Amino acid sequence: MEVRFTKSLQYYLDMVEEELLKKEACNNLMLGILERLQQEQGDCYLGWVEKDGQLLYPFLRTPPHNWVLPDLEGNMDKETVQCIVEHLWNRGWGVPGVIGPESYATTFAAEWGKLTGCTASVHMRELIYQLDKVKKHARQTGELIVAKEQDLPLLIDWLQQFGKQAGEEISLQRAEQIARRFIKEQSAFFWRINDQLVSMANCSRKTRNGAAINAVFTPDHFKGNGYATSAVAALSQQLLNKGYQFCSLYTDVSNPISNYIYQKIGYYKVGSAMVYRFRCS
């Protein structure tokens, strides 16, 4: 069993994409990262475990973010995880955290802790949902509009508020970078009621057959009116109308309201993910 890395994105895609597509919605994060790297070159570690020249398990990281473990058909054994962990340790590469299917990420966290003495903490337990058809459509009284340049200050503010609620602090500088990218790519949308912007959602990643939604946010003083439901339903339908076969999104297991809302729209659970963060003395 051997861990290998490549700097060739095309070589990596040719090797891993078909495996990832077998569970496309569950692997929307890793597939989406690879899709974005095709559009924008960036720092990345493209790794995989192989045995006798055959791919066993791919994984990657785009610094400063966590290592990403995909959800493949069949089970990944402990020996494979140990192989990855030991290789990262021997290389001296940064491991701020890991995200992946619960069993994989938990094994990774335990093995990394044994090897390094670092303490692993669960940052978030997530469910992965997929939608093939919108069951509950948006309210007719509102409309979905794309975020424009004049919306930049509001988008920055809402992204920071969204980060706080999600337990992911977003600096003002980072929020502005994200907001400008969203506006440039025309991926962020607002739900508007009587000229008032009341909720937002973003189309975050694209895969071969699907699109992922994230950054769903409604300010506290607008909550309880179904605005997020309308925004997500309308954006999901818009993406399906564009030819995507499905939409996907991540939810926090501990938030029953959002999980209920998404199921009402037509989303159903296809997988789960665990996010661990590491603290080393």
> How does residue 75 score in pLDDT terms, banded at 50, 70 and 90?
low
pLDDT in tens, 127-142: 999 999 999 887 778 9
In one-letter notation, the amino acid at residue 187 is: S
Name residues whose C-beta falls within 8 Å of residue 91's C-beta, 6 or more positions apart in sequence. none
> How does residue 257 score in pLDDT terms, banded at 50, 70 and 90?
confident
DSSP string, the chain: -EEEEES-HHHHHHHHHHHHHTTTTTTHHHHHHHHHHHHS----EEEEEEETTEEEEEEEE-TTS-EE----SSPPPHHHHHHHHHHHHHHT----EEEE-HHHHHHHHHHHHHHH-PEEEEEEEEEEEEESS-SSPPPTT-EEEE--GGGHHHHHHHHHHHHHHTT----HHHHHHHHHHHHHHT-EEEEEETTEEEEEEEEEEE-SSEEEEEEEE--GGGTTSSHHHHHHHHHHHHHHHTT-SEEEEEEETT-HHHHHHHHHHT-EEEEEEEEEEEE--
State yes or no: pLDDT of 74 exceeds 80: no
pLDDT at 78: 87
Residue 5 CA to residue 15 CA, distance in Å, equals 12
Q: Please check whether residue 201 is in contact with residue 189, taking contact to mean a CB–CB distance below 8 angstroms.
A: yes
pLDDT at 12: 97
Q: Across residues 153-176, what is the average pLDDT?
A: 93
Name the residue among 279, 256, 233 with its Cα closest to residue 117: 279
Q: Across residues 117-126, what is the average pLDDT?
A: 94
The reply to whether 134-265 shares the fold of 2-128 is yes
Q: Across residues 7-32, what is the average pLDDT?
A: 96
Q: Across residues 178-190, what is the average pLDDT?
A: 96
Q: Please check whether residue 48 is in contact with residue 20, taking contact to mean a CB–CB distance below 8 angstroms.
A: no
State yes or no: pLDDT of 178 exceeds 90: yes
CATH class of 134-265: alpha beta
Residue 217 CA to residue 168 CA, distance in Å, equals 14
What rounded mean pLDDT belongs to the chain? 94
pLDDT in tens, 187-218: 999 999 999 999 999 999 899 999 999 999 99
pLDDT at 265: 96
Second-level CATH architecture of 2-128: 3-Layer(aba) Sandwich (3.40)
Q: Where are the domains of the chain?
A: 2-128, 134-265
Instruction: Name which residue leads in pLDDT, 8 or 41.
Output: 8
- Range from 76-90, 131-145, 149-163 that averages highest in pLDDT: 149-163
State yes or no: pLDDT of 281 exceeds 80: no
**Portion of the chain with pLDDT greater than 90, in percent:** 87
pLDDT at 76: 77
